[in-house]
Amino acid sequence: MFPIGDDDTTVRTTPVVTYGLIAANVLFFLIELNGGDNFIREWAFIPSRFSHDPAGDAPTIFTAMFLHGGWMHLFGNMLYLYIFGDNVEDRLGHLGYLIFYLACGIAATFAQYYFTSHSNLPNVGASGAIAGVLGAYILMFPHARVDVLVIRQIISLPAIAVIGFWIVLQLFSGFGSIARTDETADAGGVAYMAHVGGFVAGIVLALLFGGRGGPSRTA
């Protein structure tokens, strides 16, 4: 099941923030590939390091959102951000959406940190922030449908089914929200609580931002 698009007929603004986030993620991943393990360890969020020096390691809360564990991890995240992000951005406005996205990413990081505060594994990925976008999407567009490619046929499915598939995929695939380095190649995996934390944060923040189902607004 491969999502290829949703109903954008209600989107009235160009999703410049969504496009900018996708570009930033791709750019940082290319830099990450060039920098190798040392770059990952410097800019990823490492729970034990943050516990030791929260102030000094605070920038990694943000930089880790733009690093990824591999091409498939990057592609899967950016695909869902591209499909669902523009609708949420249109509803929240450009600035509101950017704040919302970063807040979901921060919530996801600390949800994972709460359960793994002594871990030495570098955590990377936009999955937590994007899980927040998906949580907001379900709340704002509960009856939306998404076009998906199934084998060789395009069919329309409820967005909640497609987003549910994404959550399952993130939880059980090997995309890896925890980076695989030479040091952690046998220990990397999916940061389960980051996805849960981001998704819940997305729903809560969407409610606080006044984004429940209704007409769009621009900014």
pLDDT over 70, % of the chain:
85
193-217: burial string, b at 16+ Cβ within 10 Å, e else: bbbbbbbbbbbbbbeebebeeeebe
Task: Specify whether the CB–CB gap between 4 and 52 falls below 8 A.
Answer: no
| 177, 69 Cβ separation under 8 angstroms | yes
The helix/strand/coil state of 45 is strand
Residue of 143, 140, 159 lying closest to 100 (CA atoms):
140
pLDDT, mean over the chain: 85
What distance in Å separates the CA atoms of residue 66 and residue 52, rounded to the nearest whole number? 23
Cα 128 off chain centre by: 4
At 73, which amino acid appears?
A: H
Tens of pLDDT along 120-179?
989 998 989 999 999 999 999 988 999 988 888 899 999 988 888 777 766 665 334 444
State the pTM of this model. Answer: 0.85
Cβ burial of 89 (10 Å; 0-12, 13-18, 19+) is: buried
H/E element, 202: helix 192-208
Q: What is the pLDDT of residue 186?
A: 41
